[in-house]
Structure 1
Amino acid sequence: MTNGLRHRFPSIDLRTLIEVVGFVVLVNVLGSAPGVVFGPDSAWFRALEKPWFYPPELAFPVVWTLLFTLLGISLWLVWRADSGGLALGLFVVQFALNVAWTPAFFGLESIVGGIAVLVPLVALVCATVYAFWRVDRRAAVLLVPYLLWVTFALALTLEFWRLNPA
């Protein structure tokens, strides 16, 4: 391989690969755990009027697996930089809110509870993107699809609230 190509596509050693895969698996396991207990299979959720832009059910596990994978890689990049104390702290807080959304919405059967989690989540994801940008721009860019999706989730949840007044 020429030096130019080697610089663009550096080789990845086994330890690095194991670290990245570990971060990806950890984020996917923690992120998807609430969905094992709570989910859209309840009679309450099935009875709700769905917004016209509600995606097909299959979209959710596919999108979340992709997003959690991007989050894992992004988190690894910032962790590896070893200078992301604030960035890592913001990630943990926003991720905890992300994980709390499923029990708040599905577990408590509360649209308002879902909104109460999503509003600060969107703000914290914005702050996390900014903090990651200061540490590793690639890590920040990897969070943009996640920011778009949680913003979409907020719009979707607000529309659930409008269509299903309590």
Structure 2
Amino acid sequence: MNAGIMIAIVTLLVSLGSFLIRPKEDIRWVKRLDLPRWLAIVEPAIPVIWTVIFTCGAISAWLVWRADPGSFKTWLILGFYLLVEVVTVAYIPVTLRLQSLAIGTVIGGLGAVLGYGLAIVVFPISPLAAVLLVPYLLWSPIGTYATRELIDFNPESI
């Protein structure tokens, strides 16, 4: 099977994984949270933002694959991409299941740090692949900050 198609399939399956793990009581918890005004304005755009981020990430991974297909180093880097995606996608189900904004902040911060590390590793292989990670590198800290700010609005949900 074509590597680009495999990367797209894995990206899609992992990104959809968080939608499968949303018990109703967890959804009720998140709907009760007080939101800062700016977040309520941005919230409708979040699915589009994440679609762009995951698409750019998949294209980035494909460019890294094309640079050195099948090598051990390339497989390790693709594993790094997968780790970043899994940590990113884990944010929603783990935060909801534990009903803890503090845990969400930690997961978001970890995802941001891993994303920056991935960009550093990828840049020498393909500067364009690193540039395609910029949407994630910009949005991930914003999402982490938003989660941290939610703690101020909902101190009982730490």
The TM-score normalised by the length of structure 1 is: 0.79
Partner residue of 1:79? 65
Change beyond 3 A, Cα 1:63–1:103: same
- The structure in which a higher percent of residues are helix is 2
Residue segments in structure 1 that go unaligned for 5+ positions in a row: 1-14
Is residue 2:38 matched to residue 1:50? Answer: no
Partner residue of 2:146? 156
Is residue 2:33 matched to residue 1:61? Answer: no
Partner residue of 1:24? 8
Q: Secondary structure at the match of 2:35?
A: coil
Q: Is the 8 A contact 1:27 1:72 kept in 2?
A: yes
Offset, 1:92:
2.5
Q: In structure 2, how many angstroms separate the alpha carbons of the residues matched to 1:38 and 1:112? A: 19
Q: In structure 1, how many angstroms separate the alpha carbons of the residues matched to 2:76 and 2:154? A: 39
Offset, 1:80:
2.0
Q: Percent same amino acid at aligned positions?
A: 31
Q: In structure 2, how many angstroms separate the alpha carbons of the residues matched to 1:97 and 1:24? A: 18
The TM-score normalised by the length of structure 2 is: 0.83
Please tell me the residue identity of whatever aligns with 2:105: I
Q: Is the 8 A contact 2:53 2:135 kept in 1?
A: yes
